[in-house]
Structure 1
Amino acid sequence: MEYAIVDIETAGGNPKGGGITEIAVVIHDGEKIIQEYQTLLNPEMVIPTYITGLTGIDDFMVRHEPKFQDIQAELWELLKDRVFIAHSVNFDFGFIREAFLKEGKDLKSPKLCTVRLSRKVFPGLKSYSLGRICENQKIPITARHRAMGDAMATAILFDRMIKQAPDIVLQSLKKNSGETFLPPNFPNSKFKEIPDQCGIYYMLNEKGKVIYVGKAVNIRERFKNHFSGNVLPHLKQKLKAEVVDLQWKLSGTEFLALLMEVLEIKRLWPEYNSALKLPKTMWGLFHYEDGSGYGRFQISKVTRHLQPVESFFSLEEATLFLKEAMVNFQLCPKLSGLRKVSCSQESEQQCSGACKNEEDHVSYNQKVNSFLNQIKISQKEILLEFEGREKSEKAYCVFDRGVLTKFGFIKDLDEKGDLISRLESVPRIPETYYILRQFFPKFQADQIRILESI
């Protein structure tokens, strides 16, 4: 790991309004200084007299010097893959990052502040200004308030701290990188490889055994969240003590990630995944017509004597499914059994008045039948198409009576051949039925292809 110790002089105190007049960078490889860089810059603005009094830099000195855009490529190479260090780092980093943004580049280097480090390595001092700390440590500053003078003094200070207290420096770097959560045996380098994309992930112990499988819209963020916060602290500590590696598979969509997660948990039965169990009570969506001829819906428990139009594993799932259908098909909340009073009392805009007979039952039932037809389609053998893991790829799933039977990713879309035969067959796992029910109302018509009637 290499470090870029930086100091700048400016024509003002605001990154958006004050230009940089001088910059110095000292490169440290963790053991010694290996490179130095320094230049005056034309800030493209008048330098206030009080700034000249402090730094000695005036308009005449910088009028023929390069502008930031002239040195940005060289500076970017110095900074982009190194830890950015400065005394009161946010000041220097803020100016430089803002200048790069104007050039279309976003500097995202990890940062370390030698003020904060000095407080930990040299506690008890009355002041941690660069002048005072260098005086205390007998570090010479050859040119105070000039970029290279201050940068070199800061570099010597950092060199002393990393050799005297390397654990404090590395822990501060880890904290500033948001990585203090990492398990003790999980390397930083591995965490940096984790994608911020949608998919599933496998936590492995030191024997290479999968101990946990999960899914995430953002795998890196989800992995981080496993070890932060106060939810299930006992489980977090167990995982944290055992995990040493992470593997992953991208899915392209959350729907595919959920399916892949269920398949892998059933295949591997990892130690720290709660067993996937079907509930004892099933809930159903029932359809009937009232005395006025309006189609109505009701959610209740499934019994041997009543056949629902659709089944669910929980009341919450059934309610969510019906609410989404209510929006997608413009169904009346009262006639759907989701509200007891007429919609006008709740200022329900999507209701066209069926609950007050203002919309005739024939036109309303057309909406109801569209919803019922969609349910019937989902119960046939269907092929679903989604965006893949990259632009040139598509994902496909085959469901038979609501249960996943095949899925896969295909790139050469112009030469499909027998598409179904190219998909991977998977065990029929009932939980995939639950996932399809959850997402089906969100699919577009052109994503669904009926393969055969039932």
Structure 2
Amino acid sequence: MSVFDQPLAIVDLETTGGDPRADRVTEVGVVLIDGPQRREWSSLVNPGVSIPLSIQRFTGITDGMVAGAPRFADIAEELAALLHDRLFVAHNARFDHGFLRNEFARVGLNFAPRVLCSVKLSRALYPHFPRHGLDALMERFGLVCDARHRAIGDARLVRDFLDIVARDFPPAVIGPAMEKAGRTAAAPPGMTPGALDDVPEAPGVYLFYGAAPESTDLLPAPTELPLYIGKSRNLRSRVLAHFTGSHKGGQAARMLRETKRVDWVETAGELGALLLEAKLVKQLQPLYNKQLRAGGPAVALALRGGPGNEVAAGEAALTLVDLDRVTPRQLAGLYGPFRSRRDCLTTLRELATAWQLCPKRIGLQGYERRTAACVNVQIKRCRGVCCGREDPQQHDMRLMSALDGLRMPDWPWPDAVAVRERRPGAESGDRHWLAHWCYLGSAPEGSDDAAPPHRDARFDYDHYRILRRHLDGLPADAVDTVLG
């Protein structure tokens, strides 16, 4: 099959952003091909919202240019007639197709054409080249565009690329490559067609929803039940892997059978995805996220006394601290943290055995009588600080050595900071507001320079673990200190 053996509609869009569910089209460009006959159609579109300044600079399309343009509803029927019964061709077709499908749906029109992605076609036919964006094609084939980043100009570039494909390859090669480049993800059973078409190849968090159970009281039942929340550096590949992998049974298979809708939130990178996932799991309590939902309030250990201020024999040298009852500024100097009281006590038992620590003195056993021996004295797992056989200072020096690896580090900055995160090659990204190992929230760069209030910030075990892993490797210029 030759690429021109059927009617084609080569389409390019300009938009207010990258999310086809929330952002809007600002320009449509179409090149229609019927064998040797070619014609063009284009229109600016009033999106009904302000175009971000970064996108105005990138495309050259300003709010003033679209103020008098038709709304999408005004051109929908004409555009639908132009695209009817044609192979829909676009560079990164999932983007353009997703936007048009959502725009048509808002005016009550169904849009489900056959789709060919020219990026995928280029990869299939020219696998030895590393890049396949429009700029790479222009450089590779000497293509010229007098309206780059405008809809009709970019659509013409795709047309010129298809002309080169038809020149360089016989139909016997083009046909299989077109079939490969036109494959789309089939909707899983129980979900609407095209439900996964818009999932982006970007980092972020995805959410599976199922039907909510019927209400058994007078309160209205929720319409959906959160089933699972996950995160990935590539949302599309991860979500599709759920539905295309081999699940022989168990909870994973049951969850997929119950899933009726998939939602997602793009982030600027892995840090934002991890922080958002932990936050949403606690907010929504999805049925199948057992680990992040588990446990009560996080706890830590506080060491009483110390050199020059020793705790008397028979008294506890450690106390358990519920971290939801302290301010973030009070975390420095504590030991831990632990996801739950149970995890903390398990660690203490292990330390007591390894370091011959007294269960009474470290808080594992009550101390109803100050001079009574603990349960470990007789089996020689305690050296007798509880009953006067060992000097408390010697015991507590050993205790401090045992706890050394558990000490919570000081917050590296004087107060709150904003950490900037961007995808490779992106002009902007997100800012994550952090203070004293607490996550305060995120916002797109440039949306608001004021930090969220952090007076009421509370410690979260999962956010702490995420920040400990990721903050050490940050470049210095990614962190902005914010006055508290």
Give the TM-score of the pair, scaled to structure 2: 0.35
Larger C-alpha radius of gyration, 1 or 2? 1
Structure number with the higher helix fraction is: 1
Give the TM-score of the pair, scaled to structure 1: 0.38
